[in-house]
Homo-oligomer: A and B are copies of this chain.
C-alpha cells in the first residue's frame, strides 16, 4: 500500500500545471472557443503550444510520439491538463480522440496504425467514433440499426448516427455497424474510414449544453459507404467487445479530465469566497459557504481516490469493469456536485461566463449521461453485486 506519486509523475504534473496556467488559461476567452467547441484552427494552435513544451499525447506509446504513460500516469497528467477545459485539447488527450487512440493501439493492425493512429497521435488530425444512434444504440447496444452489408472486397455501410462528437473537420471515423444478412447476421463490427467521402453526410450540428469538444456534436448519415476489408478495425463481429476495450479506460480518462476541471472550479470559488464580503464578513466565514467548500473538497478527494484505484487495477492488467463503472458514477456525480456548488458560491457571477465555472458546470452535467448514464452503470453494478462478482 503506497499512495506516493513517483517523482517523475510529480514533475510531469507540475510541468503540465504550469503550462496550463501560463499558456492555456489565458486563451480561455478566445472567441474561437464557441458554443460548439473550439475551432479546428484554434485546436491546432493549442496543440502546437503543448508540442513546444514536449507535453503532447501523454497516453500514447513513445514510438508514436507520446509520453508512454500507463493508466495511473494518465490519472496524474490528465487531471493537471483538465485544470483548463482546453488543456486536454492542447495535450491531444481529449475525447473522443484519446479513446480512439487507445482502441487503435490495442486492436488496429500495423498498416492501420501507421495510416490513422500516427497522425492522430501527433495531433495533426482528429477522429470521431460513431456508435450512438437516434433510437438509442448508446446505452443499450442491442438497439444498433446501422448496417454493414458484405459485398465483394468489403462492406457497404448505411445508417444514421447521432451525437457524434467531433465529426466536423475530423480526418477519419470509426463506425460501429451491424452485419445485415450472411453468416454473421447481427454481429457488430468496427470500421475505419476517411471522412472526406461523399457517402458520409454531416446532416446537422446539434446545439448542446456542453461546449468543450472540438467539432461539436453531429447527426450524420452513412449512405452506402464502401469500406474495404482491410479497413475493418480488428476482426469482423468483434465490435461490442472492442467497445468494451475502448469504454472502460475512456470512461476513466473522462473522470481524470473532469476532476481537473472540478479542482479549477473549486479554486475559483475559494478565491472568490475569501475575497468577497457579505453581511460583514468574508463569504468563506459563513458556514453555509464554508461547508460547500468542504463538501467540494471531499468530493474531489473521493473522486481522485476512485480514479487512482481504478487506474491501478487497469495497470495491473485487470479489466476493471466493476471499478470503472463505479469510478464513472462516483466521479461524474462528485464533480457535478462540485460544479453546482461553485456556481452557487459565486452567486450571480457564477451564472455568467465571466468565470469558466459556468462552462464547466454545463459541460460536467453532460458527463452524468455520456459514456453510460449513472442509471445504466448502477444497474450493471447491481447485477454484479447480486451475482457476488465484485
Give chain A's interface residues, CB within 8 Å of chain B: 1-6, 35, 72, 132, 136, 138-140, 142-143, 162-163, 206-210, 217, 270, 273-274, 276-280, 282, 284-291, 293-295, 297-298, 301-302, 305-306, 308-309, 312-313, 326, 329-330, 343-344, 347-348, 350-354, 358, 361-362, 365-366, 368-370, 373-375, 377-379, 381-383, 385-386, 390
Contact = CB atoms under 8 A, between A and B. Distances in A.
Given A136-B277, A326-B301, A294 B378 contact: yes
A290 B351 contact: no
Given A206-B353, A344-B374, 11 more contacts: A3-B308, A132-B348, A207-B354, A209-B352, A209-B362, A287-B287, A298-B330, A343-B369, A344-B369, A348-B369, A361-B365
A138 B3 CA distance: 33
A287 B374 CA distance: 12
Contacts of A312: 1-3
Contacts of A366: 351
Nearest to A2: B2
15 contacts: A3-B312, A136-B276, A136-B347, A143-B278, A206-B353, A273-B386, A287-B288, A287-B291, A287-B378, A290-B382, A294-B379, A294-B381, A305-B306, A343-B369, A351-B369
Given A302-B305, A344-B374, A352 B291 contact: no
A206 B354 contact: yes
A81 B301 CA distance: 26
A302 B373 CA distance: 20
The A contact surface, by secondary structure, is helix
A359 B288 CA distance: 28
A344 B330 contact: no
Contacts of A382: 284, 287, 289-291, 293-294
A114 B3 CA distance: 36
B274 A386 contact: yes
Contacts of A378: 287-288, 290-291, 294-295
Contacts of A374: 344
Chain B CB within 10 Å, residue with most, of A72, A278, A293: A278
Contact of A379 (B6, B290, B330, B377): B290
A330 B330 CA distance: 13
Contacts of A375: 286-289, 291, 344
**Which of A163, A286, A378 is packed against the most chain B CB atoms within 10 Å?**
A378
Q: Point out which of A140, A289, A301 has the most chain B C-beta atoms below 10 A from its C-beta.
A: A301
A353 B207 contact: yes
Nearest to A35: B35
A82 B208 CA distance: 22
A347 B361 contact: no
A140 B381 contact: no
A92 to B, nearest CB: 24
Contacts of A330: 298, 301-302
Per CB-CB distance, the 7 closest pairs between chain A and chain B, nearest first, are A290-B382, A287-B287, A207-B353, A305-B305, A294-B381, A294-B378, A2-B2
Contacts of A4: 1
A209 to B, nearest CB: 5
Nearest to A291: B378
A284 B132 CA distance: 21
Contacts of A344: 368-369, 373-375
